Structure 1
Amino acid sequence: MDWAKAKSILIVAFLITNLFLGYNVFKDSEIRHYAYTISIEKIDAVRELFQEKNIIINADIQEKMKKLPQFTVEYETYDRELIEERFPDFTSISDDIIKYQKENEIVEVEYHKKSITYTNDNEIPIVEETDENRAQEVALDFIKNHGFQGTDVKLWSTKKKYGEYEIVYKQKYENLILDHGYMNVIVRNGQVIRFERRWLNPLEAKASDKEIIPVTKALMLAIDDLRMKKENEDSEVIIEDISLVFKLDILEFDELINEKWYEINESTGTGLLYWRIFLADQDYIDINAETYD
Protein backbone atom coordinates (compact mmCIF):
# COMPACT_ATOMS: atom_id res chain seq x y z
CA MET A 1 0.00 0.00 0.00
CA ASP A 2 1.12 3.53 -0.77
CA TRP A 3 2.46 4.91 2.54
CA ALA A 4 1.22 8.46 1.82
CA LYS A 5 -2.29 7.13 1.17
CA ALA A 6 -2.20 4.96 4.31
CA LYS A 7 -1.02 7.94 6.32
CA SER A 8 -3.92 10.03 5.04
CA ILE A 9 -6.40 7.27 5.95
CA LEU A 10 -4.92 7.05 9.47
CA ILE A 11 -5.17 10.83 9.95
CA VAL A 12 -8.80 10.85 8.82
CA ALA A 13 -9.59 7.90 11.10
CA PHE A 14 -7.86 9.69 13.99
CA LEU A 15 -9.88 12.85 13.39
CA ILE A 16 -13.15 10.92 13.23
CA THR A 17 -12.27 9.12 16.48
CA ASN A 18 -11.50 12.44 18.19
CA LEU A 19 -14.75 13.94 16.95
CA PHE A 20 -16.66 10.93 18.26
CA LEU A 21 -14.93 11.08 21.63
CA GLY A 22 -15.40 14.85 21.82
CA TYR A 23 -19.10 14.51 21.09
CA ASN A 24 -19.52 11.90 23.81
CA VAL A 25 -17.59 13.99 26.32
CA PHE A 26 -19.84 16.92 25.45
CA LYS A 27 -22.97 14.79 25.85
CA ASP A 28 -21.74 13.40 29.16
CA SER A 29 -21.03 16.91 30.38
CA GLU A 30 -24.48 18.03 29.25
CA ILE A 31 -26.10 15.15 31.12
CA ARG A 32 -24.15 16.02 34.25
CA HIS A 33 -25.09 19.70 34.13
CA TYR A 34 -28.74 19.45 33.09
CA ALA A 35 -31.64 18.04 35.07
CA TYR A 36 -33.43 17.24 31.82
CA THR A 37 -33.64 18.07 28.12
CA ILE A 38 -36.77 18.08 25.97
CA SER A 39 -36.88 17.76 22.21
CA ILE A 40 -38.50 20.46 20.09
CA GLU A 41 -40.79 17.77 18.66
CA LYS A 42 -42.10 16.90 22.12
CA ILE A 43 -42.68 20.55 23.01
CA ASP A 44 -44.56 21.10 19.74
CA ALA A 45 -46.64 17.96 20.38
CA VAL A 46 -47.68 19.25 23.82
CA ARG A 47 -48.56 22.66 22.41
CA GLU A 48 -50.64 21.01 19.69
CA LEU A 49 -52.45 18.74 22.15
CA PHE A 50 -53.31 21.68 24.39
CA GLN A 51 -54.39 23.75 21.38
CA GLU A 52 -56.90 21.02 20.47
CA LYS A 53 -58.39 21.41 23.95
CA ASN A 54 -58.53 25.23 23.63
CA ILE A 55 -55.66 25.67 26.06
CA ILE A 56 -53.23 28.16 24.55
CA ILE A 57 -49.60 28.09 25.71
CA ASN A 58 -48.14 31.57 25.22
CA ALA A 59 -45.35 30.86 27.69
CA ASP A 60 -41.84 29.86 26.69
CA ILE A 61 -41.05 26.20 27.34
CA GLN A 62 -37.40 25.60 28.18
CA GLU A 63 -35.75 22.77 26.26
CA LYS A 64 -33.10 22.37 28.96
CA MET A 65 -33.10 22.88 32.70
CA LYS A 66 -29.80 23.09 34.53
CA LYS A 67 -29.41 20.96 37.63
CA LEU A 68 -30.46 22.86 40.68
CA PRO A 69 -27.92 23.80 43.31
CA GLN A 70 -28.42 23.29 47.00
CA PHE A 71 -27.88 26.73 48.41
CA THR A 72 -27.88 28.51 51.73
CA VAL A 73 -29.63 31.86 52.10
CA GLU A 74 -30.15 34.52 54.72
CA TYR A 75 -32.63 37.37 54.83
CA GLU A 76 -31.46 40.76 53.59
CA THR A 77 -31.30 43.30 56.42
CA TYR A 78 -31.93 47.06 56.44
CA ASP A 79 -30.43 49.83 58.56
CA ARG A 80 -30.61 53.60 58.96
CA GLU A 81 -27.83 54.19 56.45
CA LEU A 82 -29.75 52.38 53.72
CA ILE A 83 -33.01 54.22 54.47
CA GLU A 84 -31.28 57.61 54.43
CA GLU A 85 -29.64 56.71 51.12
CA ARG A 86 -32.79 55.33 49.43
CA PHE A 87 -35.25 57.87 50.92
CA PRO A 88 -33.12 61.06 51.17
CA ASP A 89 -36.01 63.50 51.75
CA PHE A 90 -37.31 61.60 54.78
CA THR A 91 -36.51 62.52 58.40
CA SER A 92 -36.04 60.15 61.31
CA ILE A 93 -38.89 60.32 63.84
CA SER A 94 -37.67 57.76 66.37
CA ASP A 95 -34.45 56.95 68.18
CA ASP A 96 -35.68 53.50 69.21
CA ILE A 97 -36.79 52.12 65.86
CA ILE A 98 -35.87 52.79 62.24
CA LYS A 99 -38.76 54.98 61.16
CA TYR A 100 -38.62 57.95 58.79
CA GLN A 101 -41.29 60.37 57.59
CA LYS A 102 -41.99 62.97 54.91
CA GLU A 103 -45.39 64.62 55.41
CA ASN A 104 -47.82 61.67 55.47
CA GLU A 105 -45.37 59.21 53.94
CA ILE A 106 -43.62 56.80 56.31
CA VAL A 107 -40.92 54.24 55.71
CA GLU A 108 -40.17 51.80 58.50
CA VAL A 109 -37.88 48.85 59.12
CA GLU A 110 -39.28 46.14 61.37
CA TYR A 111 -37.45 45.58 64.65
CA HIS A 112 -35.83 42.39 63.31
CA LYS A 113 -34.47 44.48 60.38
CA LYS A 114 -35.46 41.87 57.78
CA SER A 115 -38.37 43.66 56.11
CA ILE A 116 -39.12 47.20 55.07
CA THR A 117 -42.49 48.90 54.56
CA TYR A 118 -43.56 52.22 53.05
CA THR A 119 -47.00 53.79 53.42
CA ASN A 120 -48.45 56.90 51.80
CA ASP A 121 -51.47 58.39 53.61
CA ASN A 122 -51.53 61.61 51.62
CA GLU A 123 -54.82 62.58 50.06
CA ILE A 124 -54.58 61.28 46.52
CA PRO A 125 -56.85 63.06 44.04
CA ILE A 126 -58.06 61.13 41.03
CA VAL A 127 -55.82 62.76 38.45
CA GLU A 128 -55.79 59.90 35.98
CA GLU A 129 -57.49 56.65 35.17
CA THR A 130 -55.00 53.94 36.11
CA ASP A 131 -55.10 50.76 34.07
CA GLU A 132 -52.97 47.66 34.62
CA ASN A 133 -50.09 48.81 32.42
CA ARG A 134 -49.96 52.23 34.05
CA ALA A 135 -50.06 50.67 37.53
CA GLN A 136 -47.09 48.45 36.61
CA GLU A 137 -45.18 51.51 35.33
CA VAL A 138 -45.83 53.39 38.59
CA ALA A 139 -44.70 50.39 40.67
CA LEU A 140 -41.56 49.88 38.59
CA ASP A 141 -40.66 53.59 38.79
CA PHE A 142 -41.00 53.41 42.58
CA ILE A 143 -38.67 50.44 43.05
CA LYS A 144 -36.18 51.92 40.56
CA ASN A 145 -36.19 55.35 42.20
CA HIS A 146 -35.53 53.79 45.61
CA GLY A 147 -32.79 51.45 44.42
CA PHE A 148 -34.63 48.14 44.69
CA GLN A 149 -34.61 47.17 41.02
CA GLY A 150 -32.01 44.60 39.95
CA THR A 151 -31.37 41.67 37.65
CA ASP A 152 -32.85 39.33 40.27
CA VAL A 153 -36.31 40.96 40.13
CA LYS A 154 -39.19 39.36 38.20
CA LEU A 155 -42.68 40.81 37.78
CA TRP A 156 -44.84 38.06 39.23
CA SER A 157 -48.49 39.11 39.29
CA THR A 158 -50.86 42.07 39.02
CA LYS A 159 -54.32 42.04 40.59
CA LYS A 160 -57.01 44.70 40.81
CA LYS A 161 -59.28 44.96 43.83
CA TYR A 162 -61.46 47.84 45.06
CA GLY A 163 -59.87 50.33 42.69
CA GLU A 164 -56.31 49.40 43.70
CA TYR A 165 -53.65 47.37 41.91
CA GLU A 166 -51.44 44.94 43.80
CA ILE A 167 -48.21 44.34 41.89
CA VAL A 168 -45.99 41.54 43.19
CA TYR A 169 -42.34 41.04 42.28
CA LYS A 170 -40.46 37.84 43.10
CA GLN A 171 -36.76 37.15 43.49
CA LYS A 172 -34.88 35.19 40.82
CA TYR A 173 -31.86 32.99 41.43
CA GLU A 174 -30.50 31.55 38.18
CA ASN A 175 -33.49 29.62 36.74
CA LEU A 176 -35.41 29.54 40.03
CA ILE A 177 -37.96 31.81 41.65
CA LEU A 178 -37.41 32.20 45.41
CA ASP A 179 -40.87 32.29 46.90
CA HIS A 180 -39.79 34.04 50.11
CA GLY A 181 -38.08 36.90 48.32
CA TYR A 182 -40.71 39.40 47.23
CA MET A 183 -41.77 43.02 46.86
CA ASN A 184 -45.44 43.94 47.15
CA VAL A 185 -46.57 47.29 45.72
CA ILE A 186 -50.08 48.76 46.04
CA VAL A 187 -51.00 51.47 43.50
CA ARG A 188 -54.06 53.72 43.68
CA ASN A 189 -54.87 56.66 41.38
CA GLY A 190 -51.44 56.56 39.80
CA GLN A 191 -49.46 56.60 43.09
CA VAL A 192 -47.85 54.01 45.33
CA ILE A 193 -49.71 53.90 48.66
CA ARG A 194 -47.93 50.90 50.15
CA PHE A 195 -44.70 48.99 49.56
CA GLU A 196 -43.24 45.98 51.34
CA ARG A 197 -39.96 44.23 50.66
CA ARG A 198 -38.54 41.00 52.02
CA TRP A 199 -35.49 39.72 50.12
CA LEU A 200 -32.92 36.94 50.39
CA ASN A 201 -29.12 36.87 50.12
CA PRO A 202 -27.79 33.61 48.62
CA LEU A 203 -24.65 32.73 50.60
CA GLU A 204 -23.40 29.44 49.19
CA ALA A 205 -24.33 27.10 46.36
CA LYS A 206 -23.34 23.44 46.16
CA ALA A 207 -23.91 20.80 43.52
CA SER A 208 -27.06 18.78 44.01
CA ASP A 209 -28.56 15.71 42.36
CA LYS A 210 -32.13 16.76 43.14
CA GLU A 211 -34.31 15.63 40.23
CA ILE A 212 -37.26 17.51 38.85
CA ILE A 213 -39.95 16.63 36.35
CA PRO A 214 -39.77 18.32 32.94
CA VAL A 215 -42.08 21.26 32.37
CA THR A 216 -43.92 19.27 29.68
CA LYS A 217 -44.82 16.59 32.25
CA ALA A 218 -45.97 19.30 34.66
CA LEU A 219 -48.28 20.64 31.95
CA MET A 220 -49.71 17.19 31.31
CA LEU A 221 -50.31 16.71 35.04
CA ALA A 222 -52.14 20.04 35.11
CA ILE A 223 -54.33 19.43 32.07
CA ASP A 224 -57.45 18.35 34.00
CA ASP A 225 -57.18 21.34 36.32
CA LEU A 226 -56.71 23.61 33.32
CA ARG A 227 -59.85 22.21 31.66
CA MET A 228 -61.75 22.90 34.88
CA LYS A 229 -60.81 26.58 34.52
CA LYS A 230 -62.76 26.86 31.25
CA GLU A 231 -66.16 28.50 31.42
CA ASN A 232 -67.46 26.12 28.76
CA GLU A 233 -66.14 23.62 26.24
CA ASP A 234 -65.54 26.29 23.58
CA SER A 235 -63.85 28.87 25.79
CA GLU A 236 -60.08 29.28 25.93
CA VAL A 237 -57.60 29.09 28.78
CA ILE A 238 -54.36 30.98 28.14
CA ILE A 239 -51.09 30.09 29.85
CA GLU A 240 -48.90 33.19 30.09
CA ASP A 241 -45.94 31.95 32.13
CA ILE A 242 -44.44 28.79 33.63
CA SER A 243 -41.83 29.18 36.37
CA LEU A 244 -39.95 26.82 38.65
CA VAL A 245 -40.42 28.04 42.22
CA PHE A 246 -38.46 27.18 45.34
CA LYS A 247 -40.19 27.54 48.70
CA LEU A 248 -37.95 27.39 51.76
CA ASP A 249 -38.83 25.40 54.86
CA ILE A 250 -39.89 28.52 56.72
CA LEU A 251 -43.32 28.87 58.30
CA GLU A 252 -44.97 32.28 58.08
CA PHE A 253 -46.92 31.81 61.29
CA ASP A 254 -45.88 30.40 64.63
CA GLU A 255 -49.11 28.84 65.81
CA LEU A 256 -47.54 25.37 66.01
CA ILE A 257 -43.92 26.25 66.65
CA ASN A 258 -42.18 29.04 68.53
CA GLU A 259 -39.77 30.05 65.77
CA LYS A 260 -40.98 32.78 63.39
CA TRP A 261 -39.72 33.35 59.86
CA TYR A 262 -37.53 36.29 60.80
CA GLU A 263 -35.79 34.31 63.56
CA ILE A 264 -34.18 32.09 60.90
CA ASN A 265 -30.66 33.44 60.34
CA GLU A 266 -29.71 30.99 57.61
CA SER A 267 -31.64 28.33 55.76
CA THR A 268 -30.31 25.64 53.46
CA GLY A 269 -32.28 24.76 50.35
CA THR A 270 -34.36 21.81 51.47
CA GLY A 271 -37.81 23.15 50.73
CA LEU A 272 -40.47 22.49 48.14
CA LEU A 273 -39.97 22.76 44.40
CA TYR A 274 -43.00 23.32 42.23
CA TRP A 275 -43.94 24.48 38.75
CA ARG A 276 -46.29 27.45 38.83
CA ILE A 277 -48.46 27.74 35.72
CA PHE A 278 -49.76 31.30 35.39
CA LEU A 279 -52.94 32.01 33.46
CA ALA A 280 -53.93 35.18 31.65
CA ASP A 281 -56.63 35.95 34.23
CA GLN A 282 -53.98 35.95 37.02
CA ASP A 283 -55.11 32.54 38.30
CA TYR A 284 -52.49 29.82 38.60
CA ILE A 285 -51.91 26.11 39.16
CA ASP A 286 -49.02 24.63 41.15
CA ILE A 287 -47.56 21.24 40.28
CA ASN A 288 -45.00 19.51 42.49
CA ALA A 289 -41.74 19.48 40.53
CA GLU A 290 -39.82 16.91 42.53
CA THR A 291 -39.46 13.27 41.57
CA TYR A 292 -39.49 10.48 44.11
CA ASP A 293 -37.98 7.08 43.40
Structure 2
Amino acid sequence: MDWNKANTILIIAFIVINISLVIASFNNIPSEDYDVMSDDYFINNVENILKNNNIIINCEIPDDTYVLPVLDIEYNMINVNDDLLQNYLGENIKAIEDVFIYNNSKGETLEIIDGKKIIYTIRNKVPGKIQKEEFINDTISNFIKEKNINSDDFEETYRYISEDVNYVVYNQIHNDYSIENSYMYFFVDNKGIYNFEMQKAILINEIKDKIRTLPAIEALPRLLTYDDVKDKEIINIEMTYYSLEDENWKYITRINSDPTWKVNFNDGSIKYLSSFD
Protein backbone atom coordinates (compact mmCIF):
# COMPACT_ATOMS: atom_id res chain seq x y z
CA MET A 1 0.00 0.00 0.00
CA ASP A 2 1.19 3.57 -0.78
CA TRP A 3 0.79 5.02 2.70
CA ASN A 4 1.51 8.63 1.65
CA LYS A 5 -1.24 8.43 -0.96
CA ALA A 6 -3.56 6.67 1.48
CA ASN A 7 -3.00 9.28 4.18
CA THR A 8 -3.62 12.10 1.71
CA ILE A 9 -6.92 10.55 0.61
CA LEU A 10 -8.00 10.01 4.19
CA ILE A 11 -7.14 13.59 5.19
CA ILE A 12 -9.19 14.95 2.30
CA ALA A 13 -12.11 12.71 3.25
CA PHE A 14 -12.04 13.89 6.85
CA ILE A 15 -11.83 17.54 5.74
CA VAL A 16 -15.05 17.09 3.78
CA ILE A 17 -16.70 15.38 6.73
CA ASN A 18 -15.53 18.02 9.18
CA ILE A 19 -17.03 20.69 6.93
CA SER A 20 -20.34 18.90 7.40
CA LEU A 21 -19.93 19.07 11.16
CA VAL A 22 -19.13 22.78 11.00
CA ILE A 23 -22.27 23.36 8.95
CA ALA A 24 -24.24 21.52 11.58
CA SER A 25 -22.79 23.71 14.33
CA PHE A 26 -23.73 26.88 12.42
CA ASN A 27 -27.27 25.58 12.29
CA ASN A 28 -27.39 26.13 16.09
CA ILE A 29 -27.33 22.46 16.95
CA PRO A 30 -25.76 22.01 20.40
CA SER A 31 -22.88 19.52 20.16
CA GLU A 32 -24.27 17.31 22.92
CA ASP A 33 -27.53 17.00 20.99
CA TYR A 34 -25.98 16.49 17.57
CA ASP A 35 -26.85 13.09 16.09
CA VAL A 36 -24.71 12.35 13.05
CA MET A 37 -27.10 9.61 11.90
CA SER A 38 -29.88 12.16 11.56
CA ASP A 39 -27.69 14.46 9.45
CA ASP A 40 -28.53 13.47 5.88
CA TYR A 41 -25.99 15.95 4.50
CA PHE A 42 -23.20 14.32 6.46
CA ILE A 43 -24.27 10.78 5.53
CA ASN A 44 -24.56 11.67 1.84
CA ASN A 45 -21.06 13.17 1.92
CA VAL A 46 -19.59 9.92 3.25
CA GLU A 47 -21.55 7.79 0.79
CA ASN A 48 -20.45 9.99 -2.12
CA ILE A 49 -16.80 9.91 -1.04
CA LEU A 50 -16.92 6.13 -1.04
CA LYS A 51 -18.91 5.99 -4.27
CA ASN A 52 -16.33 8.17 -5.99
CA ASN A 53 -13.86 5.40 -5.18
CA ASN A 54 -16.26 2.73 -6.50
CA ILE A 55 -17.22 1.54 -3.02
CA ILE A 56 -20.97 1.04 -2.77
CA ILE A 57 -22.85 0.67 0.52
CA ASN A 58 -25.50 -2.00 0.00
CA CYS A 59 -26.68 -2.54 3.58
CA GLU A 60 -28.04 -0.70 6.57
CA ILE A 61 -25.51 1.55 8.29
CA PRO A 62 -25.76 0.94 12.05
CA ASP A 63 -26.93 4.07 13.82
CA ASP A 64 -25.74 2.99 17.27
CA THR A 65 -22.80 4.22 19.26
CA TYR A 66 -21.47 2.09 22.10
CA VAL A 67 -19.73 2.45 25.42
CA LEU A 68 -17.65 -0.73 25.63
CA PRO A 69 -14.68 -2.01 27.58
CA VAL A 70 -11.41 -3.01 25.98
CA LEU A 71 -10.87 -6.75 26.44
CA ASP A 72 -7.77 -8.43 27.82
CA ILE A 73 -7.63 -11.76 25.98
CA GLU A 74 -5.37 -14.75 26.59
CA TYR A 75 -5.05 -17.22 23.71
CA ASN A 76 -4.71 -20.97 23.88
CA MET A 77 -1.12 -22.07 23.27
CA ILE A 78 -1.31 -25.43 21.53
CA ASN A 79 0.45 -28.37 23.11
CA VAL A 80 1.70 -30.42 20.16
CA ASN A 81 1.37 -33.95 21.50
CA ASP A 82 0.47 -37.43 20.29
CA ASP A 83 -3.20 -37.04 21.20
CA LEU A 84 -3.56 -33.88 19.11
CA LEU A 85 -1.90 -35.46 16.08
CA GLN A 86 -3.91 -38.66 16.26
CA ASN A 87 -7.16 -36.75 16.73
CA TYR A 88 -6.70 -35.00 13.40
CA LEU A 89 -4.45 -37.29 11.37
CA GLY A 90 -5.82 -40.58 12.73
CA GLU A 91 -2.61 -42.60 12.70
CA ASN A 92 0.11 -43.56 15.15
CA ILE A 93 2.01 -40.32 14.56
CA LYS A 94 4.35 -39.15 17.31
CA ALA A 95 4.99 -35.55 18.24
CA ILE A 96 8.55 -34.32 17.74
CA GLU A 97 9.99 -31.35 19.61
CA ASP A 98 10.05 -28.12 17.56
CA VAL A 99 8.23 -29.76 14.64
CA PHE A 100 4.96 -28.02 13.71
CA ILE A 101 3.91 -29.65 10.41
CA TYR A 102 2.75 -33.27 10.26
CA ASN A 103 1.33 -35.46 7.49
CA ASN A 104 -0.39 -38.83 7.28
CA SER A 105 -0.51 -41.48 4.54
CA LYS A 106 -3.75 -39.98 3.13
CA GLY A 107 -1.98 -36.74 2.29
CA GLU A 108 -3.65 -34.79 5.10
CA THR A 109 -1.59 -32.09 6.83
CA LEU A 110 -1.78 -30.58 10.30
CA GLU A 111 0.15 -27.35 10.81
CA ILE A 112 0.50 -25.30 13.99
CA ILE A 113 1.12 -21.60 13.29
CA ASP A 114 2.47 -19.10 15.83
CA GLY A 115 1.89 -21.62 18.61
CA LYS A 116 -1.87 -21.02 18.71
CA LYS A 117 -3.40 -21.57 15.27
CA ILE A 118 -4.32 -24.93 13.76
CA ILE A 119 -4.54 -25.39 10.00
CA TYR A 120 -5.85 -28.82 9.03
CA THR A 121 -5.72 -29.51 5.28
CA ILE A 122 -7.60 -32.64 4.28
CA ARG A 123 -7.47 -32.47 0.49
CA ASN A 124 -7.85 -30.16 -2.49
CA LYS A 125 -11.21 -28.52 -3.07
CA VAL A 126 -13.52 -30.10 -5.63
CA PRO A 127 -15.20 -27.58 -7.98
CA GLY A 128 -18.84 -26.57 -7.83
CA LYS A 129 -21.20 -24.46 -5.76
CA ILE A 130 -23.01 -26.18 -2.90
CA GLN A 131 -26.75 -26.10 -3.51
CA LYS A 132 -28.10 -27.19 -0.12
CA GLU A 133 -27.34 -25.13 2.97
CA GLU A 134 -28.44 -28.03 5.17
CA PHE A 135 -25.54 -30.09 3.81
CA ILE A 136 -23.13 -27.44 5.09
CA ASN A 137 -24.76 -27.36 8.53
CA ASP A 138 -24.70 -31.14 8.92
CA THR A 139 -21.12 -31.40 7.66
CA ILE A 140 -19.85 -28.84 10.18
CA SER A 141 -21.81 -30.37 13.06
CA ASN A 142 -20.44 -33.83 12.32
CA PHE A 143 -16.88 -32.52 11.97
CA ILE A 144 -17.03 -30.78 15.36
CA LYS A 145 -18.20 -34.01 17.00
CA GLU A 146 -15.71 -36.20 15.15
CA LYS A 147 -12.72 -34.03 16.09
CA ASN A 148 -13.88 -33.46 19.69
CA ILE A 149 -13.82 -29.68 19.28
CA ASN A 150 -15.20 -27.63 22.15
CA SER A 151 -17.48 -25.12 20.43
CA ASP A 152 -18.98 -23.65 23.60
CA ASP A 153 -19.39 -19.86 23.32
CA PHE A 154 -18.93 -20.04 19.53
CA GLU A 155 -21.59 -19.03 17.02
CA GLU A 156 -21.74 -18.83 13.25
CA THR A 157 -21.04 -15.20 12.31
CA TYR A 158 -20.49 -15.36 8.56
CA ARG A 159 -21.14 -17.61 5.58
CA TYR A 160 -19.80 -17.11 2.06
CA ILE A 161 -21.03 -19.32 -0.75
CA SER A 162 -19.86 -18.98 -4.35
CA GLU A 163 -18.76 -21.04 -7.35
CA ASP A 164 -15.13 -20.67 -6.28
CA VAL A 165 -15.18 -21.05 -2.51
CA ASN A 166 -17.60 -21.94 0.28
CA TYR A 167 -16.73 -21.25 3.90
CA VAL A 168 -18.41 -20.69 7.24
CA VAL A 169 -16.94 -18.72 10.14
CA TYR A 170 -17.64 -19.38 13.80
CA ASN A 171 -16.45 -16.79 16.33
CA GLN A 172 -16.30 -16.83 20.08
CA ILE A 173 -18.96 -14.52 21.52
CA HIS A 174 -18.53 -12.23 24.50
CA ASN A 175 -21.58 -10.25 25.66
CA ASP A 176 -23.13 -10.60 22.19
CA TYR A 177 -20.03 -9.33 20.36
CA SER A 178 -17.81 -11.58 18.28
CA ILE A 179 -14.14 -11.98 19.13
CA GLU A 180 -12.70 -11.86 15.64
CA ASN A 181 -9.34 -13.41 16.56
CA SER A 182 -10.97 -16.38 18.26
CA TYR A 183 -12.43 -18.35 15.40
CA MET A 184 -13.08 -21.54 13.48
CA TYR A 185 -13.08 -21.50 9.68
CA PHE A 186 -14.76 -24.39 7.88
CA PHE A 187 -14.03 -24.65 4.14
CA VAL A 188 -16.67 -26.88 2.55
CA ASP A 189 -17.27 -28.38 -0.88
CA ASN A 190 -19.68 -30.99 -2.22
CA LYS A 191 -17.65 -33.78 -0.61
CA GLY A 192 -17.47 -32.19 2.82
CA ILE A 193 -14.83 -30.21 4.71
CA TYR A 194 -11.52 -29.94 2.89
CA ASN A 195 -9.79 -27.36 5.13
CA PHE A 196 -10.19 -26.21 8.73
CA GLU A 197 -8.55 -23.37 10.69
CA MET A 198 -8.89 -22.62 14.38
CA GLN A 199 -7.54 -20.18 16.95
CA LYS A 200 -9.14 -19.89 20.37
CA ALA A 201 -9.14 -17.59 23.37
CA ILE A 202 -9.10 -19.25 26.77
CA LEU A 203 -9.53 -16.22 29.04
CA ILE A 204 -11.38 -12.95 28.46
CA ASN A 205 -11.33 -10.11 30.98
CA GLU A 206 -12.88 -6.66 30.68
CA ILE A 207 -10.55 -3.75 31.34
CA LYS A 208 -12.14 -1.21 33.68
CA ASP A 209 -11.92 1.87 31.43
CA LYS A 210 -14.50 1.98 28.64
CA ILE A 211 -14.49 3.49 25.16
CA ARG A 212 -17.27 5.51 23.56
CA THR A 213 -17.20 4.41 19.95
CA LEU A 214 -17.61 6.45 16.82
CA PRO A 215 -20.74 5.84 14.76
CA ALA A 216 -20.09 3.55 11.82
CA ILE A 217 -20.66 6.38 9.34
CA GLU A 218 -17.69 8.29 10.81
CA ALA A 219 -15.43 5.23 10.64
CA LEU A 220 -16.24 4.29 7.03
CA PRO A 221 -13.94 6.89 5.36
CA ARG A 222 -11.02 4.94 6.83
CA LEU A 223 -11.66 2.41 4.08
CA LEU A 224 -9.91 4.85 1.77
CA THR A 225 -6.58 3.91 3.34
CA TYR A 226 -6.85 0.52 1.60
CA ASP A 227 -6.04 -0.02 -2.06
CA ASP A 228 -7.98 -3.28 -2.40
CA VAL A 229 -11.55 -2.16 -1.64
CA LYS A 230 -12.43 -0.38 -4.87
CA ASP A 231 -15.16 -1.82 -7.09
CA LYS A 232 -16.73 -3.62 -4.15
CA GLU A 233 -20.05 -3.56 -2.32
CA ILE A 234 -20.36 -3.32 1.44
CA ILE A 235 -22.94 -5.91 2.50
CA ASN A 236 -22.68 -5.77 6.29
CA ILE A 237 -21.32 -3.50 9.03
CA GLU A 238 -21.21 -4.54 12.69
CA MET A 239 -19.41 -3.92 15.96
CA THR A 240 -16.90 -6.59 17.00
CA TYR A 241 -13.66 -7.01 18.97
CA TYR A 242 -10.42 -7.26 17.04
CA SER A 243 -6.62 -7.30 17.49
CA LEU A 244 -4.19 -6.80 14.63
CA GLU A 245 -2.23 -9.98 13.88
CA ASP A 246 1.07 -8.54 12.70
CA GLU A 247 4.62 -9.91 12.60
CA ASN A 248 4.71 -9.98 16.41
CA TRP A 249 1.64 -12.20 16.74
CA LYS A 250 3.74 -15.36 17.16
CA TYR A 251 5.22 -13.92 20.35
CA ILE A 252 1.87 -12.96 21.86
CA THR A 253 -0.12 -15.06 24.28
CA ARG A 254 -2.12 -12.20 25.76
CA ILE A 255 -3.28 -8.97 24.13
CA ASN A 256 -5.87 -6.21 24.34
CA SER A 257 -8.76 -6.37 21.90
CA ASP A 258 -10.55 -3.14 20.96
CA PRO A 259 -14.16 -2.49 19.91
CA THR A 260 -13.85 -2.38 16.12
CA TRP A 261 -16.18 -1.88 13.19
CA LYS A 262 -16.19 -4.94 10.90
CA VAL A 263 -17.03 -4.34 7.23
CA ASN A 264 -17.98 -7.28 5.01
CA PHE A 265 -17.75 -7.00 1.22
CA ASN A 266 -19.63 -8.90 -1.46
CA ASP A 267 -16.52 -10.85 -2.50
CA GLY A 268 -16.06 -12.34 0.98
CA SER A 269 -13.30 -9.95 2.05
CA ILE A 270 -13.33 -8.11 5.38
CA LYS A 271 -11.87 -4.86 6.67
CA TYR A 272 -11.64 -3.77 10.30
CA LEU A 273 -11.98 -0.08 11.13
CA SER A 274 -11.02 1.53 14.41
CA SER A 275 -14.10 2.68 16.30
CA PHE A 276 -12.40 5.53 18.16
CA ASP A 277 -10.06 8.43 17.45
Give the TM-score taking structure 2 as reference length: 0.58
Q: State the match for 1:212 in structure 2.
A: 213
Q: Give, in whole Å, the separation in 2 of the partners of 1:82 and 1:192.
A: 21
Q: State the match for 2:6 in structure 1.
A: none
AA aligned to 2:197 is E
AA aligned to 2:264 is F
Q: State the match for 1:244 in structure 2.
A: 239
Runs (5+) with no aligned partner, structure 1: 1-35, 231-236, 254-259
AA aligned to 1:186 is F
Q: Give, in whole Å, the separation in 1 of the partners of 2:33 and 2:85.
A: 48
1:267 partnered with 2:255:
yes
Give % identity. 14
State the Cα distance separating 1:150 from its structure 2 match. 3.3
1:152 partnered with 2:150:
no
State the Cα distance separating 1:265 from its structure 2 match. 2.5
Q: Give, in whole Å, the separation in 2 of the partners of 1:159 and 1:37.
A: 43
- Residue by residue, what CA displacement relative to the aligned partner does 1:3-49 show, whole Å, maximum 9, x if unpaired? xxxxxxxxxxxxxxxxxxxxxxxxxxxxxxxxx9998x957979x97
Q: State the match for 1:116 in structure 2.
A: 118
* Secondary structure in structure 2 of the residue aligned to 1:149: coil
Q: State the match for 1:140 in structure 2.
A: 140
- Residue by residue, what CA displacement relative to the aligned partner does 1:99-122 show, whole Å, maximum 9, x if unpaired? 887762646362864222222238
Aligned positions of 1:60-209 closer than 5 A: 61=62, 63=64, 65=66, 67-79=67-79, 80=81, 83=84, 87=87, 90-96=90-96, 104=106, 106=108, 108=110, 110=112, 113-121=115-123, 130-131=130-131, 133=133, 136-137=136-137, 140-141=140-141, 144-145=144-145, 146=147, 147-158=149-160, 160=162, 163-209=164-210
- Residue by residue, what CA displacement relative to the aligned partner does 1:165-211 show, whole Å, maximum 9, x if unpaired? 24444443335443322323322333211111112223422222323
State whether residues 117 and 197 of structure 2, in contact with CA within 8 Å, keep that contact through their aligned partners in structure 1. Answer: yes
* Secondary structure in structure 1 of the residue aligned to 2:73: strand
Q: Give, in whole Å, the separation in 2 of the partners of 1:132 and 1:38.
A: 47
Pair 1:99–1:286, CA change in 2 (3 A): closer
Q: Give, in whole Å, the separation in 2 of the partners of 1:143 and 1:207.
A: 38
Q: State the match for 1:57 in structure 2.
A: 59
State the Cα distance separating 1:284 from its structure 2 match. 5.1
- Count residues with an aligned counterpart: 230
State whether residues 186 and 192 of structure 1, in contact with CA within 8 Å, keep that contact through their aligned partners in structure 2. Answer: yes
Q: Give, in whole Å, the separation in 1 of the partners of 2:176 and 2:34.
A: 16
AA aligned to 1:268 is N
1:290 partnered with 2:276:
yes
State whether residues 114 and 249 of structure 2, in contact with CA within 8 Å, keep that contact through their aligned partners in structure 1. Answer: no
Runs (5+) with no aligned partner, structure 2: 1-31
Pair 1:208–1:276, CA change in 2 (3 A): same
Q: Give, in whole Å, the separation in 2 of the partners of 1:76 and 1:290.
A: 28
Give the TM-score taking structure 1 as reference length: 0.56
* Secondary structure in structure 2 of the residue aligned to 1:210: strand
Q: State the match for 1:6 in structure 2.
A: none
Higher relative contact order (CA 8 A, sep 6+): 2
State the Cα distance separating 1:263 from its structure 2 match. 2.0
Q: Give, in whole Å, the separation in 2 of the partners of 1:38 and 1:178.
A: 31
Give the greater-gyration-radius structure (CA): 1
Pair 1:284–1:141, CA change in 2 (3 A): same
Q: Give, in whole Å, the separation in 2 of the partners of 1:56 and 1:249.
A: 26
Q: Give, in whole Å, the separation in 1 of the partners of 2:158 and 2:34.
A: 25
